[in-house]
Structure 1
Amino acid sequence: MLTTQASLDQVAAQLKAGDKARVAGLQQVVAYLAKHPIPTSFPSVVYAVAGAGSPTEDQIRRDAELAYACALRWAATGEAAYARQARQILDGYARNFQRYSTSPKPDGSPTEFRQTYLEAAWVAPTFVAAAEIIRYYRLGGKTGAGWPAADVAAFSTFLKKLQTDYVDPLPAGTSWVNNWQVSCAYAQLALGVWFDDRAEYEKGYRYALAVQPQVFYANGNVKELCDRDCHHPQYTLTGLTNAAEIARLQTGDTALYALHNQQLRVGWEKLLDALEHAPGSCTDCSAHPAVWPGIETAYAYYRTPRLAALRERGAPYGVPGDDTFAGFTSLMQPAGAR
């Protein structure tokens, strides 16, 4: 989804040659795996809590990233144990997950059911990113991860449940336009790739094209940067960047990167202005310096000095602090200008 046979082969070769940047990127994967043991039990019901979290919500987000970390480590090093661990996580959710539900917020007020739509839209693409590698990647072009067809089919059933019950209903479940819609479009693109479903893919692609202009102001700022806080706009920027990268890899289409005079690039650069509290920036994010791993992908495409400066604030990149969106971009992004 966000990698290819060729890009993963390149990463493995660079690691073998001792490339310092790649080794640093792999270390983020190693550190995540060291911090989070492979689970032996998986929730049947995941409880969404708006603005907070629950043990099951935290676990499914964390486990999606963990499966991706295992898949990337297997592809990068050829160590079969990590392919088995990735399969253990993917199979665990395929066998156990039944549904999302909600729990009250910390103040006791109810969590609206539509929060489950967003939670599913966050985890589905990361699960797909892991599963695509385990399903299709071949070490040295020959040796696969050995994922049985029956297990692949069971995992597809799990993803279909996320798609049908939660991701696809999201647009009708909200009246505002912000990172929620971006997350939905990204998830629909990813699920379309997994299912080889052109209709689902095109639905996500058209939705991304429609939503992207609505989440920016005319001056290039993400609306949530000026109107909300310093981290929600990075949900928008990362989701749009990942959607654009899926389209580029799948069909060679770079329209999402180019849309409205590279609106996406400008949005990332406006974030840098806010982090630096530059004159004219719409907010001051200097006290909130975290940069999300989507910048690595954006920089790999645009290669501008401003994005290089933003990328350098946090490289190498692991995962977002709340385990939303596929991480470890410092390991998986192809080197050199496109």
Structure 2
Amino acid sequence: MALPTSRRNLLRTAAGMAVLPAVLPAVLPMVPSASWASAAPAALRHPGLLHTQADFDRIAAAVRAGAQPYRAGWEKLVANGRSRSTWRARPLETVVRGGTGQNYPQLYNDVHAAYQNALRWRISGDKAHGDAARDILNAWSGTLKTVTGNADRFLAAGIYGYQFANAAELMRDYPGFDVERFRRMLLTVFYPLSDDFLVRHNGACITNYWANWDLCNMAAIMAIGVFCDDRAKFERAVDYFEHGKGNGSVMNAIPFAHPGGLAQFQESGRDQGHTMMGLGLLGSIAEMAWNQGLDLYGHAGNRIMRAAEYVARYNLGEDVPFTPYVWGTGTTCARREQTVVSAVARGQNRPVWELLYHHYANRRGLSVPYTKAYAERVRVEGGGGDYGPNSGGYDQLGFGTLLFTRAAAPAGGGLLPTGVTRVFRSVNLPAEGLAASGALGVLGEAAPLRIVPGPADPKGCSLVDDDGRYLRHKDFRLRFDADDGTTLFERDATFHARAGAEAGTVRLESVNYPGRFVRHRRHRLWLDRAEDTAAFRADSTFRPTTA
């Protein structure tokens, strides 16, 4: 199944970044997801769901060194009773969620025990924990036949299906783990329910179910696809994320954009607990796709990031704008409306923030002040069992402080730090620097510009002004323009930082016109072909200094 053309991007090599030391590995330029989808022979990566081997190398080194906050995150994991190697599974043949005879807590406790023991084995190498995780997974795959109940059975299939697949992905090569039997369980017990929900929505109006219902089942199909090496299932989840008709597709889950880099989540008028659950599922889907080389985090102008900022801001006690939300319910699509953001469960803590913060702030170098503040508030993040005994406390696998902390990635070959703001002063006219006159780039009173990894090449960089406009070239003239979502814009706005004419200075080389550099001529900024002259080197050299 080929995906429709979009601006989603492929990272052709693993996205993990080392922290000890903090370096960015070689990453080739990104291409649209349609190109990724057409590359059918490419194998899915393993481990390649929420975590890669590069992640575990980074985490294990940091824990051994006692580096914070990794060490605190490790201690949080070790303190959780489900992470003990003495945990014994209690598998069921029939799991019931919703209605009479509910017994599904046995499932979610064992899922989290398998995952937490798998983490301890991956990070410490302790065989006792590997054996415990393997035995839990084998016990369930040898016993479970059915997940049932009322409509909540679809929640069980989605949430625990994606979590089970993540635990199993960490154990896929472990001695004695019955991989094939576990695959059969995922494909015959969990996947059919998730697939049926996204197709039929339990016979209800397409908008009847909240975004979380779609999101957890999308996550399950994506995770099962990767674990089972089923590319079509992975692509199905990606296609639904981008183009699905239900409330879980990204533009339905985040239907309204607001000024100030904010975007309203579909459940914001319902309550804040489910809203945070939805953000966690969006982050998990995006992270699993990222580890397979696909950037869903950046879809539609970083839509997920804008929703995270909105939710964090409101739950930190500040006001947010709210657009009335109208939807259809039941089987007849009876109209309902929400007119205000909900204060129910406002300020709740869930372990969803470290993943979002470290991707946007440290992988991508973007400013996310509210997401950052909430990540700091919930730090150190725990997992299942640390947030109460009810099912909501097990909606996220958690332990984000341990698992998703990463250092800020350098941009421009290491010459420029990412995620910081600098002014770029001309070396031969030091009272002036990169600035804007309307939309045009000029040499004038130097404007503060935020350095972010280049959207067309993470080894490159982009410069963003206070209005969110990118420095880009068009017809070889430098301009400050808003991101229009095209691949051409991404390339026009991406530069490679090269050493300048003096120590501590840089030159900005175009990524799509190699050999052309940003330079000033008569106080205007141009993208000119390099000349081997002292005058050109001076005109194209800038000194980044603290704004």
Give the TM-score category using the shorter length.
0.7 to 0.9
- Which residue of the partner structure matches residue 193 of structure 2? 166
Per the alignment, in what secondary structure is the counterpart of residue 95 of structure 2?
strand
- Identity within the alignment, %: 25
- Partner of 2:148: helix, strand, or coil? strand
Question: 1:60 maps to what in 2?
Answer: 107
- Is 1:248 equivalent to 2:290 in the alignment? yes
Counterpart AA for 1:215: A
**2:183 maps to which residue?**
156
| AA aligned opposite 2:201 | G
For residues 267 and 154 of structure 2, the distance between their equivalents in structure 1, rounded to whole angstroms, comes to: 20
Quick one: which amino acid aligns to residue 309 of structure 1? A
Equivalent AA in structure 1 for residue 396 of structure 2: F
Select between 313-322 and 179-188 the one with higher mean Cα deviation: 313-322
Runs of 5+ consecutive residues of structure 2 not aligned to the other structure:
1-48, 244-248, 323-340, 362-367, 410-547
**What per-residue deviation string (whole Å, max 9, x for no partner) do you get for residues 120-161 of structure 1?**
10011111111111114xxxxxxxx3234xx11111111112
1:237 alignment partner, SS class: helix
Q: After TM superposition, give the deviation of residue 337 of structure 1 in Å.
A: 2.5
* CA distance in structure 1 between the partners assigned to 2:169 and 2:158 by the alignment: 17
| TM-score of the aligned structures, taking structure 1 as reference length | 0.86
Partner of 2:512 in structure 1?
none
Which of the numbers 78, 82, 86 marks the counterpart of 1:30? 78
CA 1:223/1:202 → structure 2, altered by over 3 Å: closer, same or farther? same
1:130 aligns with 2:167: yes
The verdict on how the C-alpha distance between 1:159 and 1:307 changes in structure 2, with shifts beyond 3 A counting, is same
Aligned residue in 2 for 1:47: 96
| Residue 11 (structure 1) aligned with residue 48 (structure 2) | no
On the 8 A contact 2:154/2:194 being kept in 1, the answer is yes
Q: Which residue of 2 aligns with 1:189?
A: 222
Distance 1:17 1:54 in 2: 48
Q: Which residue of 2 aligns with 1:217?
A: 255
Kept in 1, the 8 Å contact 2:309–2:369? The answer is no
Q: Cα offset for 1:180?
A: 0.8
CA deviation vs aligned residue, 1:72-115 (integer Å, no higher than 9, x gap): 0111111110001001110111011110122xxxxxxxxx3x32
Following TM superposition, by how much is the alpha carbon of 1:284 offset from its aligned partner in structure 2, in angstroms? 5.9
Match of 1:237 in 2: 279
What amino acid is aligned across from residue 198 of structure 1 in structure 2?
A: R
Question: Over residues 264-311 of structure 1, what are the superposed CA-to-partner deviations in whole Å (9 max), with x where a residue is unaligned?
Answer: 111111112221231335536496423322221111110133221111
CA RMSD of aligned residues (A): 2.1
1:305 aligns with 2:369: yes
Aligned to 1:333: 404
Q: Which amino acid aligns with 1:155?
A: F
Q: Deviations over 1:291-336 (max 9, x none)?
A: 3222211111101332211111101111264212322222211511
Q: Which residue of 1 aligns with 2:315?
A: 275
**Contact 1:125 / 1:325 at 8 angstroms: preserved in 2?**
no
Partner of 1:46, secondary structure, is: strand
Between stretches 186-195 and 170-179, larger displacement belongs to 170-179
After TM superposition, what 4+ stretches of structure 1 lie above 4 angstroms from structure 2?
A: 34-37, 284-287
The verdict on how the C-alpha distance between 1:159 and 1:286 changes in structure 2, with shifts beyond 3 A counting, is closer
Aligned to 1:119: 156
Q: TM-score, normalised by structure 2?
A: 0.54
Offset, 1:236: 1.5
Q: Mind listing any 5+ residue stretches in structure 1 that lack a counterpart?
A: 103-111, 137-144
Following TM superposition, by how much is the alpha carbon of 1:34 offset from its aligned partner in structure 2, in angstroms?
A: 5.7
Q: Which amino acid aligns with 1:19?
A: A
**8 Å contact 2:312–2:374 — kept in the other structure?**
yes
Residues 1:274 and 1:297: Cα distance change in structure 2 (over 3 Å): same
CA offset at residue 35 of structure 1?
8.1
CA distance in 2 between partners of 1:266 and 1:313 (Å) = 19
Aligned match of 1:294: 352
Give, in whole Å, the separation in 2 of the partners of 1:12 and 1:312. 22
Amino acid paired to 2:167: A
Separation in structure 1 between the aligned mates of residue 103 and residue 405 of structure 2, nearest angstrom: 34
1:168 shift after superposition: 1.0
Q: What letter matches 2:170 in structure 1?
A: I
Greater fraction of residues in helix:
1
Shift in Å at residue 165 of structure 1?
Answer: 2.8
Q: Is the 8 A contact 1:225 1:233 kept in 2?
A: yes
Query: What is the alpha-carbon distance in structure 1 between the residues aligned to residue 101 and residue 70 of structure 2?
Result: 34
In 2, the alpha carbon distance for the partners of 1:98 and 1:161 equals: 8
For residues 194-232 of structure 1, give each alpha carbon's deviation from its aligned partner in whole angstroms, at most 9, with x where no partner exists: 011110000011111121100123131112112x11111
Distance in 1 separating the partners of 2:227 and 2:319: 44
SS where residue 169 of structure 1 aligns?
Answer: helix
Amino acid at match of 2:175: G
Q: Distance in 1 between matches of 2:93 and 2:321?
A: 45
2:280–2:396 CA contact under 8 A, matched in 1: yes
Q: Which amino acid is the alignment partner of residue 98 of structure 1?
A: K
Residue 267 of structure 2 aligns to a residue in which SS?
A: helix
Equivalences, count: 313
Q: How many angstroms does 1:233 deviate by?
A: 1.1
Q: Which of these two proteins has the greater Rg computed from alpha carbons?
A: 2
Structure 1 residue corresponding to 2:301, chosen from 261, 265, 276: 261
208-217 or 35-44: which moved more?
A: 35-44
Structure 2 CA distance, aligned partners of 1:287 and 1:97?
A: 35
CA distance in 1, matches of 2:126, 2:349: 31
In 2, the alpha carbon distance for the partners of 1:20 and 1:273 equals: 26
Is the strand fraction higher in 1 or 2?
2
